[in-house]
Amino acid sequence: SGKITINGQVIDFTDETNILAVARKAGIDIPTLCYHPELTIAGACRLCVVEIERMGMQASCSTAPADGMVVYTNSERVNRVRKMVLELLLANHDRECTTCDSSGACKLQKYANDYGIKRLRYPSRTVMAPLDTSSLSVVRDPNKCILCGLCVRVCKEKQGIGVWDFKNRGSRTEIVAAMDQPLAESACINCGQCIAVCPCGALTSNSSAIEEVWAAIRDPKKTVVCQIAPAPRAALGEEFGLGSVDVTGKLVAALRKVGFDKVFDTVFTADMTTIEESNEFLGRLVKGENLPLFTSCCPGWVKYAEEFHPELLNNLSTCRSPHQMFGSLLKKKYAKELGIAPQDMYVVSIMPCTAKKYEAKRPEFMTEGSYDVDAVLTTVEAARMFREAGILFNALENSEFDQPMQQTTGSGVLFGATGGVMESVVRYVAGKLLNAEGRIDVEFTRGMEDTKIASINVGDNKLSLAVVNGLAATEELLKKIQSGEMTVHAVEVMACPGGCVGGGGQPYQNDGEHRKARAKEIYNIDSKLVLHKAQDNEDLDKIFEKYWGGCCNHDTHHDLHTHYYP
């Protein structure tokens, strides 16, 4: 700890490891492209240079504060260097902002504007390389890449996978997927975290579904049905300047205006998942079989387990994820009830997640040759559709979800934040085993730490439970479980930091602060909802009864559960 002077202002520092963090704490921003507070420091882009007395020009992200340091972040020299850095990056960057998915959210665009760059003194890129559109989830445009390496670091450090890497040196340096293969051929689990950190449009979601959704809406033969995941309701407002507040009512209204015939809530089938999965868990506890149980709603985690841990596949819950349960319900049951063939119903999921695009195209999730979920749009893509349709989102009146699957519980909403699935299971199990009627809140599952572990007593059962987010942290936990160092009965795994609130399809900035604010709103929604546990959902009881003669039986197993491929 100590004091440094920045632009004449004396600032205390304590445990900040770099000048950048001290400056930002004091309300002085410094531009950065290759820096991310949750990843290792590369010091590659040099945009964050500052002038330090007796040390000259230094990258503020990789220079530690020292007592008595005198720093200038906005001197003539600093600005000259920053402009040069920006001009060099811009010269090599495809500057077709008008057709870029990241326009408006691009840091390079913002800084070029902030620093008043009007023309480049360097020759511009002329030869364009082809885009990698092989993946259902992520599109890479090499012509936009500025080699900041954030994608390389997030995939390696947070997901433990390492899909991206640098190739060649010097001016020939590029970033490629492993073995220089198309992304779809790599070990990518589609989480979209590389999209979340990419500052300038080199990595974006595969948004090709938007056109397909418009076509379905305009096709008079199709009944178009939409469902919305828990997490987008606490993040979509960011796209419209409202911040991380609950916009469920406006979102439903916007979807109706866009032309959806029915709008449902994935929270309804999150309750369904809780009931099916909790009973599966209780069954395994009695038999002492396939423990620990791992949750299966995160398609990134499922693909990771299939690819890297085939020995664990019997431990995964056989439950389909909530949105695939809804898809199955809609195509197998609800369409019939409406007298519609499954092919004539078009189901769209609004998800915070890019991996859901891949999950929806898994061949096991089909009904009579038609995908249970026809298209997945990310939160960001849904916002784009609303703008295209000329919807003034902030002026919308709230609208309600459709009957007869209208009721939702706070428990189901919690699925959107890390720990929420586990809390839902605990609420259900405690409610059922103890015949408890009131609210059952679980503390240990909450918060943004990557690994949370606790033992809790439910009646005579002592349950050891773990919640983890990020696949690198998951791998650490698995090592402990598989070596016998730790015994747990159930594990919730979400691939994205913070759970679905931090999904790769959420609005930019998709960082720790925003994830925290969204999760807070998810818990707010839960605390306001009257229905608290999955078993409180009476609409769900009726649906179970009408379509399958109850829950957790042979028929629900057929329609709502799945199997995995090593």
For 436, phi then psi, to 5°, come to -85, 135
Minimal CA–CA distance to 30: which of 67, 63, 68? 63
Confirm or reject binding of residue 231 to ligand HC1 (CB under 6 A). yes
With CB under 5 to 8 Å by kind, the binding choice for 192 among ligand HC1, ligand SF4, none is: ligand SF4
Query: Does the annotation mark 297 as catalytic?
Result: yes
Residue 167, H or E segment = strand 164-167
Nearer to ligand SF4 by C-beta: 300 or 431?
300
Interactions with ligand HC1, residue window 302-321 (CB under 6 A): 321
Among 48, 100, 147, 161, binds ligand SF4 (CB under 6 A): 161
Tokens matching residue 190? 């589609």
Spatial separation of the C-alpha atoms in residues 205 and 147, rounded to whole Å? 19
User: Which of 484, 498, 478 minimizes the C-alpha distance to 419?
Assistant: 498
Pick 63 or 227: Cβ nearer ligand HC1: 227
Binding-site string for ligand SF4 from residue 178 to residue 217, where x marks contact by CB under 6 A and - marks none: ----------xxxxxxx-----------------------
Piece of 120-128, 227-235, 250-258, 433-441 that binds ligand HC1 (CB under 6 A): 227-235
Q: How far is CA 427 from CA 7, 74, 408, 434, 442, in A?
A: 53, 54, 15, 10, 8
Q: Is 50 helix (H, G, I), strand (E, B) or coil?
A: strand
Binding flag, residue 159, ligand SF4 (CB under 6 A):
yes
Q: How far is the CB of 117 from ligand HC1 (least distance, A)?
A: 38
* Active-site pick, 277, 423, 492, 521: 277
* Residues ≥6 apart with Cβ < 8 Å to 1: 12, 13, 14, 15
Distances in whole angstroms, Cα of residue 182 to Cα of each of 132, 151, 161, 174, 187: 6, 16, 16, 14, 11
Which residues make beta-bridge pairs with 456? 463
Q: Which of ligand HC1, ligand SF4, none lies near 223, with the C-beta cut-off 5 to 8 A by kind?
A: none
Q: Which residue stretch of 16-24, 81-89, 161-169, 416-424 sits at the interface with ligand SF4 (rule: CB under 6 A)?
A: 161-169
Whole-angstrom Cα distance, residue 78 to residue 60? 11
Beta carbon nearer to ligand SF4, 158 or 284: 158
Of the pair 159, 318, the CB lying nearest ligand SF4 is at 159
Give the footprint of ligand HC1 on residues 86-105 (CB under 6 A): none
Catalytic residue among 364, 368, 538, 545: 364
The H-assigned helical ranges of 288-367 are: 299-308, 322-329, 335-338, 355-360
Q: Count of residues for the chain?
A: 566
Q: Which range, of 91-99, 119-127, 484-492, 499-507, touches ligand HC1 by CB under 6 A? A: 499-507
Q: Smallest distance from the beta carbon of 385 to ligand SF4, in angstroms? A: 23
Nearer to ligand HC1, 342 or 412 (CB): 412
Distance CA 493, CA 469 (A): 6
CB of 280 to ligand SF4, least distance (A): 28
Distance CA 170, CA 197 (A): 23
**Nearer of residues 143 and 207 to ligand HC1, judged by Cβ:** 207
364 catalytically annotated: yes
**Number of residues located near ligand HC1, criterion CB under 6 A:** 19
Spatial CB neighbours of 484, under 8 Å, sequence gap ≥ 6: none
Structure tokens, 412? 């189901």
From the list 235, 534, 234, 251, the residue with the least C-alpha distance to 412 is: 534
Active-site residue list: 277, 280, 297, 317, 356, 359, 364, 500
Binding site for ligand HC1 (CB under 6 A): 229-231, 266, 270, 297-298, 321-323, 351-353, 356, 415-416, 499-500, 503
Binding site for ligand SF4 (CB under 6 A): 138, 154-155, 159, 161, 163-164, 188-194
